[in-house]
Amino acid sequence: MAKLGPSGYSPYPVAMYEELLTPPPGKALLFDEIVDEEIAMREAAKAMLTRDNPTIFPGPQVLYAWNEEAKEKAKLVRKIAETLGAKIIPMYDYRPKYPKIDPEKEINPNHPNLTIWHNNIKACIFVGVHCHYANVALKIIRAETDCFTIALCGNAGHEDAMITLRDQHAEELEKFIKVAEEVKKELGK
């Protein structure tokens, strides 16, 4: 992701148009740069702590107790929200919601811009969203909003987010909380 949105009429993918791919194992993406995980974590925390209405969008992989890791990660996501002073708006399933969703209560991957516009969200974190739906949503968000998107992905990451961290399991989320606490202190918040 080379630029903050709104980037245009159509949700063009950076993988095709900017040859930007998911980061290699052990690394992260900060816009179009491959960086160390900790640097990306610091920038992610900074964006969430300094931009308006920071919000975490947790997906089914952390919303439902389908395994022990999910339960652990859910508790950590709540802790991240507390640390960053962020709101939580869930993406609890992926079907398009018509005639309309309640953008106060949920976000949907097929029209994520509605929730972001309505709540005036300027920074967000995707966590626990299945990769395909995260990617569909992240492209639309970049095309249509100026929201700063961050992906904490359990798999390979999402190059359409402005910051993407890959292989984020409980241990990494704990590390992110620590980094966020440090950044918060540095910012005097």
Distances (CA, A) of 57 to 16, 21, 101, 105, 151: 26, 23, 15, 11, 10
User: Could you say whether residue 73 binds another protein (CB under 8 A)?
Assistant: no
- 122 touches 53 (CB < 8 A): yes
The correct pick among 26, 65, 68, 98 for binding another protein (CB under 8 A) is 98
Distances (CA, A) of 50 to 94, 157, 164: 30, 23, 18
User: Could you say whether residue 19 binds another protein (CB under 8 A)?
Assistant: yes
Q: Take residue 106 and report the two structure tokens written for it.
A: 């949920």
Per DSSP, 148 falls in state: E
Q: Point out which span in 47-55, 91-99, 169-177, 180-188 binds another protein (CB under 8 A).
A: 91-99
Binding-residue total with another protein (CB under 8 A)? 36
Q: Take residue 84 and report the two structure tokens written for it.
A: 């960053």
At which residue do the structure tokens 């052990």 appear? 26
**Closer to another protein by Cβ: residue 54 or 109:** 109
Q: Point out which span in 17-25, 82-90, 120-128, 176-184 binds another protein (CB under 8 A).
A: 17-25
User: Could you say whether residue 114 binds another protein (CB under 8 A)?
Assistant: yes
Site for another protein, rule CB under 8 A: 10-16, 19, 21-22, 24, 60, 94-96, 98, 109-111, 114, 130-133, 135-137, 139-140, 143-144, 155-157, 159-160
